Amino acid sequence: MAVTGTNLEARPDVGWMTELGQQLRVDAVRAAAAAGSGHPTSSMSAADLMSVLLTRYLRYDVARPDDPHNDHLLFSKGHASPLLYAMLRATGAIDFDELMTYRRLGSRLEGHPTPRLPWVEVATGSLGQGLPVGVGLGLTGARLDRLPYHVWVLCGDSELAEGSIWEAFEQAGTAGLDNLTAVVDVNRLGQRGPTRHEWDLDAYSRRISAFGWRVIEVDGHDIADVDRAFAQALSTTGRPQAILARTRKGRGVAAVEDQEGFHGKPVPDAEEAVRELGGVRDLTVQVTQPDRSGTPNRFPDGNLDLPTYQVGEKAATRTAFGKALVALGGARGDVVALDGEVADSTRTEYFAAKYPERFFECYIAEQQMISAATAMQARGWVPYAATFAAFMTRAFDFIRMAAVSRANLRLCGSHVGVAIGQDGPSQMGLEDLAMLRAVHGSTVLCPCDANQTAQLTVAMADRKGISYMRTNRGDTPVIYAPGERFPIGGSRVLRESTADKVAIVAAGVTVHQALAAADRLATEGIQARVIDAYSVKPIDADTLRAAARDTGRIVTVEDHWPEGGLGDAVLDVWADGTEPPPRVHKLAVRSMPASAKPDEQLRAAGIDADAIVAAARAMIGG
């Protein structure tokens, strides 16, 4: 490894790495001072750790951040971004001028790292997420890519209070991921004061060891000790490693070192701090090239043979999703599936049986599941992750951060709405449409029959951003012929005439209730247009506007709370003010359901055919 620096020997010895650590601190101080904000003290505690990693152990082609053989470095403590950016300057990836744009408008150097920088794979900063993503990368390297890269994750001690961290420890330990090292910066201080265990490394060690990890305790400011710890980690086989490093927040500057009240703030006197740290340095590091043995693994492609269903038969959309996923997996070797120990309900069990090498059981750890999917897509795989829609809410922060990461995920939430029946409200997904509609750039789909579900499952594969499909537990009638296409952003008009008095807009299970209602209204001389809004986001605005112009009245009906779901998506069509809105009546679940049969649930919630007929009559005036 070649290194250069002013008045220093050109070799990565302890003295040199000590100086590099000081440079990283100085640059973190200068960047935060220029921005007037940031987290330099959190960066300073981990500077020696990252100096040793960057100099001796990281294998990475800085000029080719997309090289599949590169190691992976994640800052789970994303607020220490000044340290990451200082490291990038030391490698020559960015220059000093760019470092000084930290946190400014238009800069790639955001307050917390995002993939606007090519050396950042996923966004971090919501604490507790970097290690779960690191576990996903470890799984990807071991089981999918089958490459010898190593995954390094810098964690903070504060975030070890997050449950997702322990989901990650459990998953990695059980999987024996010896290609994963967590470096925990135990600097004792959180945002508002001491952490739970402060410098009690033994407390952390007992807990992490219990999950099957090798734990190595070090003085995080003793370069030689840190060097030995990294070497021991890399020599470990059969299990992941955690380096617990006792450090001091704000290391090297007396005014802030191990002092409360300086989290998230520039040091009080940056010029004095730089002098105290020994002045400005311009050391550069030529990072060790990655191990390029082997080629990235890919599974073979085949032909797409989607399952088909005949009009009139009944099938659950969750079953159609599972069978379509198997067909897609046969056609595309890059498709993988993840589940949260409900594969027999979501029907990903079909994929697991056919392609076990591409199926990942995450157990009841939805945050880890989404994190692993985010990691896999970062490596070019096409993940589908499934669980009950109600349990997807546990992972919302991870879905939100996946959008910040510009990730392409395909999510399936089964057992939606009151239509699941007797299991009761704890199992009913009644918030999922609102939740996923709120995610930046998301796609939200709600199919009503098996053939439509199969087609939309395939359409999600190449969709950018976060795609979400909700599926039903019970069987519903097949109303679309095999092979029919359903473009995302479209809808289907199932009843239509020039005499329509009202338009009924439905999605999923309520489409069948809407059709029954329209047939009954027709016997009373009331013509009703029925629109299957299977694409809730983006919604088919043109079809809805046409219905509004023709009828002046719209009834929306959804198996979801009234807030943020299909009804609100329909109303948003007129939010731009370009056309006057129609009269809109929203039918939705408005009271807390209890256990009952599915048809009883729909009736009690006021979203069955009777309720739709009554709403249409009331709007028309008779």
Please calculate the CA angle 570-574-578 and round it to the nearest 5 degrees.
Answer: 155
Residues 502 and 529: beta-carbon distance below 8 Å? yes
In the structure encoding, which two tokens stand for residue 549, read together? 């112009």
Q: Is 76 exposed, middle or buried (0-12, 13-18, 19+ CB in 10 A)?
A: buried
Classify each residue of 24-39 as buried b or exposed e, where b means 16 or more C-beta atoms within 10 Å of its C-beta: bbbbbbbbbbbbeebb
Q: From 18, 8, 12, 29, select the one nearest 280 (Cα to Cα).
A: 29
The answer to whether the Cα torsion of 587, 588, 590, 591 is positive or negative is: positive
In the structure encoding, which two tokens stand for residue 164, read together? 């997702």
Element (H, E) at 570: helix 566-571
Q: How far apart are CA 105 and CA 2, in angstroms?
A: 35
Q: Is 181 exposed, middle or buried (0-12, 13-18, 19+ CB in 10 A)?
A: buried
Q: How far apart are CA 37 and CA 251, in angstroms?
A: 18
Q: Is 265 exposed, middle or buried (0-12, 13-18, 19+ CB in 10 A)?
A: middle
In the structure encoding, which two tokens stand for residue 473, read together? 């537990």
Give 19's contacts (C-beta < 8 A, 6+ positions apart). Answer: 5, 8, 278, 281, 283
Q: How far apart are the first and last CA of the chain?
A: 84
Q: How far apart are CA 371 and CA 582, in angstroms?
A: 42
Please calculate the CA angle 140-143-147 and round it to the nearest 5 degrees.
Answer: 70
Distance of CA 439 to the CA centre of its chain: 11
Q: Identify the three-state secondary structure at position 129.
A: coil
Q: How far apart are CA 315 and CA 64, in angstroms?
A: 48
Active-site option among 366, 431, 524, 600: 366
What is each CA distance from 244 to 41, 54, 74, 187, in whole angstroms?
18, 18, 16, 10
Q: How far apart are CA 612 and CA 605, in angstroms?
A: 12
101 backbone dihedrals φ, ψ, rounded to 5°: -90, 5
Residues 50 and 62: beta-carbon distance below 8 Å? no
Give 38's contacts (C-beta < 8 A, 6+ positions apart). Answer: 28, 31, 32, 81, 82, 102, 103, 111, 264, 266
366 belongs to the catalytic site = yes
Pairing of strands 409-414, 528-532: unpaired
Give 474's contacts (C-beta < 8 A, 6+ positions apart). Answer: 316, 419, 420, 421, 509, 598
Q: How far apart are CA 42 and CA 264, in angstroms?
A: 8
Residues 23 and 90: beta-carbon distance below 8 Å? yes
Q: Is 128 exposed, middle or buried (0-12, 13-18, 19+ CB in 10 A)?
A: buried
Catalytic residues: 366
